[in-house]
Chain A
């Protein structure tokens, strides 16, 4: 799972940059408002999104994690 945690962290950073960039453009250019994001809320939303994905991913992998190696090898 380590690689997916790493990938998840990378995607969080990317989403933060990409999403904030587009949001900034929408707020500043389109609406001509000040860019006044509430970072704790944004990070909270991002964290909740990642948490949901992780929960679903781990939930979906439980069967695989529970399976016995010998059984898996026999099925090859």
Chain B
């Protein structure tokens, strides 16, 4: 007979135990898996939407123009002002101290804003007051400054040469997220205070920002590109509201994708549990199935009845999983608030929930198919005899539904992934591991069957349990093997990274990094350090900023502005970066081709290029590289290529020029100080820090040891995140240059170890 749908549903409903006895494993697996997938999808979607819709508030503008190491020229300023309402500001690294107490200092991120700031969003102080730019010599300070210096509202704070009055503690800064990582807590001042600090000098590492509020309907991308085309040598970095924080955008998307795949792998393992649960459930109903068959139910009827039961249970489990996923999102959002842009409260993302539900349904159906197919295919008598004569075979009928189900899961995972190759690679790896473990399970069963029977009854039964018909050995090996291997893999990678960071960084990191050291004050700097620690090792390098504007053979140079897409691994072409000049091959660098220029070389300007960049751009000796420094294009001939040891904790630069090429541009120095072991005492540190802060108010002194104590854990966390991100990038490319990719992360900054390095790699750093 062929039961009608109604009759099948009536029988299914009657047979379904609404306490779900026998199906609880299926329910638990599905609820957990769907909850994880829906929470990840909902959260990722919510963050991405926030990034997309709040781009204007996050950027504080429709379009933002940033210039390194100089303020905009009059013509540039006028052109940008013609676009709309402009708010001008600056951002730079500085030191804040309590006046009269040179040892109470902290590195800060000084943010100067004008009266129009913020163009979008709301700036509030910690007491809830809505505020704008501080007037005169008043400063808004981040809570971190108040904590580190022990200052409160009304107290004084010295920044550069200005003594500022703390007017309030920052509560909410609308454009904080788009500013990226900062080396220290923020201090917001007005333009008058910035002028009074005298920190902006020729050569100082200031980033000037022009934020523009465009009239309605204006296209920020087109207008931004227009300014870049009009001033190709100016070196403007343009960001628009659509991509207020491109790095964060990428990170969220990739991390979301990665987490979805991990949750999917977990759900696939749970699928084995689902299959076993369904098997047990149908096993317990074998008599009912046999009776129905004897009464005339066809195999199709049996399948329909139990499929309806499983579908009902799975639907409830998936629904519960979705509810749990939606419910935990506000908790996750609260935990991530401040780190990622996410509005508190419940988020309902229909797309993410539909995908999670689809995954849940596919997993349930795929893994429930084999026992269902077996149940429908055996005749009634075979089912009746099953307890004494276990059912064998019956797997062929399950091949098609299982293959379709797995294909559906793979298709869904790949089609919904922003990085399809990564998703496919992940699924391929998981499938390979599944196959390996399945083979092992099968091998264990075969081995157990062939091993001579032990004499002891318990040992004999134990051995038989591994290979008897219906033994769960294979399923156990696959599920447990997969799960435990994943645990070991994650623990191994994480502890190794921790070990590398703990072993390498503190040993190699200098004790101090000094930024914006005026060339005219080098003698004073040396004297202060040497007086406190005579054996200290001091390294100084010229520090300039500039952007690569063209490269290639003379007469046929490629203009970077004309490139639609940057070549792979040509990251130095993006934005401005650190430039330097030197008489000798920098420490930790090895020439791979060409020769170094002689001391006091005075011929044609030369440049030595990072070997990796040379390969990425297909550069040859004798080719040229043109850079824009402070809006002036300078071209140099490639004299050599260098292999850079990015992990040498020193100053590393992709481009090192001969002194005659760029030394005439206004610039300061950067320096590191490494103390001898015996000099790493609080007294010596106080003398150095106090002396430098007092004598060189415009320089920033970063005490890496102190940073280590405070930040080691957060660096390690950041490093792991960074590595994961790069791993994803590597998987995406299938032809990654992992070391290069990683070194790039480490190397943008001057060192792998400093606060500056790790932190700034996430955003953009001066020295790279």
Interchain CB contact under 8 A, B730 and A30: yes
Known contacts A36-B503, A50-B484: does B476 contact A7 (CB below 8 Å)? yes
Interchain CB contact under 8 A, A49 and B487: yes
**Contacts of B476 on A, CB cut-off 8 Å?**
4, 7, 11
Closest residue of A by beta carbon distance from B727: A30
Closest residue of B by beta carbon distance from A13: B484
Known contacts A2-B462, A22-B489: does B496 contact A12 (CB below 8 Å)? no
Interface positions of A from 1 to 28, Cβ below 8 Å from B: 2-4, 6-8, 10-12, 14-16, 18-20, 22-24, 26-27
Interchain CB contact under 8 A, A31 and B738: yes
**Contacts of A26 on B, CB cut-off 8 Å?**
489, 493, 727
Interchain CB contact under 8 A, B487 and A46: yes
Q: How far is the CB of B413 from chain A (nearest CB, A)?
A: 20
**Contacts of B498 on A, CB cut-off 8 Å?**
38
Known contacts A7-B477, A42-B492: does B484 contact A12 (CB below 8 Å)? yes
Known contacts A3-B466, A33-B497, A33-B500: does B492 contact A19 (CB below 8 Å)? yes
Interface positions of B from 478 to 498, Cβ below 8 Å from A: 480-481, 483-493, 495-498
Interface membership of B81, Cβ < 8 A: no
Q: How far is the CB of B448 from chain A (nearest CB, A)?
A: 8
Interface membership of B739, Cβ < 8 A: yes
Q: How far is the CB of B206 from chain A (nearest CB, A)?
A: 35
Interface positions of B from 411 to 466, Cβ below 8 Å from A: 433, 440, 444, 458-459, 462-463, 465-466
Per-residue CB contact flags for chain B residues 13-45 toward chain A (1 = under 8 Å, else 0) read 000000000000000000000000000000000
- Return the contact of A3 from the options B440, B463, B485, B500 (Cβ within 8 A): B463
- Return the contact of B459 from the options A2, A32, A50 (Cβ within 8 A): A2
Interface membership of B102, Cβ < 8 A: no
Q: A50–B730 Cα gap in the complex (Å)?
A: 32
Interface positions of B from 492 to 534, Cβ below 8 Å from A: 492-493, 495-500, 503
**Contacts of B463 on A, CB cut-off 8 Å?**
3
Q: How far is the CB of B752 from chain A (nearest CB, A)?
A: 11
Interchain CB contact under 8 A, A23 and B458: no
Known contacts A2-B462, A22-B489, A38-B495: does B481 contact A31 (CB below 8 Å)? no
Interchain CB contact under 8 A, B481 and A27: no
**Contacts of A18 on B, CB cut-off 8 Å?**
433, 481, 485, 488
Interchain CB contact under 8 A, B487 and A41: no
Q: How far is the CB of B63 from chain A (nearest CB, A)?
A: 37
Interchain CB contact under 8 A, B492 and A31: no
Interface membership of B735, Cβ < 8 A: no
Interchain CB contact under 8 A, A45 and B491: yes
**Contacts of A33 on B, CB cut-off 8 Å?**
496-497, 500
Interchain CB contact under 8 A, A53 and B480: yes
Interface membership of B723, Cβ < 8 A: yes
- Return the contact of A23 from the options B433, B481, B496, B738 (Cβ within 8 A): B496
Q: A45–B735 Cα gap in the complex (Å)?
A: 33
Q: How far is the CB of A73 from chain B (nearest CB, A)?
A: 12
Interface membership of A76, Cβ < 8 A: yes
**How many of A's residues come within 8 Å of B, CB to CB?**
38
Q: A45–B493 Cα gap in the complex (Å)?
A: 13
Closest residue of A by beta carbon distance from B492: A23
Interface membership of B473, Cβ < 8 A: yes
**Contacts of A37 on B, CB cut-off 8 Å?**
491-492, 495-496, 499
Closest residue of A by beta carbon distance from B500: A33
**How many of B's residues come within 8 Å of A, CB to CB?**
40
Q: What's the A-B contact tally at a CB cutoff of 8 Å?
A: 121
Q: How far is the CB of B549 from chain A (nearest CB, A)?
A: 32
**Contacts of A12 on B, CB cut-off 8 Å?**
484
Known contacts A7-B473, A18-B481, A18-B488: does B730 contact A42 (CB below 8 Å)? no
Interchain CB contact under 8 A, A15 and B481: yes
Closest residue of B by beta carbon distance from A6: B462
Q: How far is the CB of B458 from chain A (nearest CB, A)?
A: 6
Q: A75–B485 Cα gap in the complex (Å)?
A: 40
Q: A2–B657 Cα gap in the complex (Å)?
A: 71
Q: A53–B483 Cα gap in the complex (Å)?
A: 10
Q: A35–B466 Cα gap in the complex (Å)?
A: 37
**Contacts of B723 on A, CB cut-off 8 Å?**
31
- Return the contact of B488 from the options A31, A36, A46 (Cβ within 8 A): A46
Interchain CB contact under 8 A, B742 and A46: no
Interface positions of A from 41 to 66, Cβ below 8 Å from B: 41-42, 45-46, 49-50, 53
Interchain CB contact under 8 A, B387 and A27: no
Interchain CB contact under 8 A, B499 and A15: no
Interchain CB contact under 8 A, A38 and B486: no
Interchain CB contact under 8 A, A36 and B485: no
Q: How far is the CB of B462 from chain A (nearest CB, A)?
A: 4
Per-residue CB contact flags for chain B residues 282-324 toward chain A (1 = under 8 Å, else 0) read 0000000000000000000000000000000000000000000
Q: A19–B490 Cα gap in the complex (Å)?
A: 8
Q: A37–B502 Cα gap in the complex (Å)?
A: 12
Interchain CB contact under 8 A, B727 and A34: no
Closest residue of B by beta carbon distance from A12: B484
**Contacts of B459 on A, CB cut-off 8 Å?**
2
Q: A6–B444 Cα gap in the complex (Å)?
A: 11
Known contacts A30-B738, A33-B500: does B462 contact A11 (CB below 8 Å)? no
Residue numbers of B with Cβ under 8 A of A are: 387, 433, 440, 444, 458-459, 462-463, 465-466, 473, 476-477, 480-481, 483-493, 495-500, 503, 723, 727, 730, 736, 738-739, 742
A11-B477, A20-B489 known, 19 other contacts, Cβ within 8 Å? A3-B462, A7-B444, A11-B484, A16-B488, A19-B485, A19-B488, A20-B488, A22-B485, A23-B496, A29-B738, A31-B727, A31-B738, A33-B496, A37-B499, A38-B498, A42-B491, A42-B495, A46-B487, A53-B480
A-B complex: 4 closest residue pairs judged by Cβ atoms: A19-B488, A23-B492, A36-B499, A15-B484
A-B contact pairs, 12 of them (CB 8 A): A7-B477, A15-B480, A27-B496, A30-B727, A33-B500, A34-B499, A34-B500, A36-B500, A37-B499, A38-B498, A42-B492, A46-B488
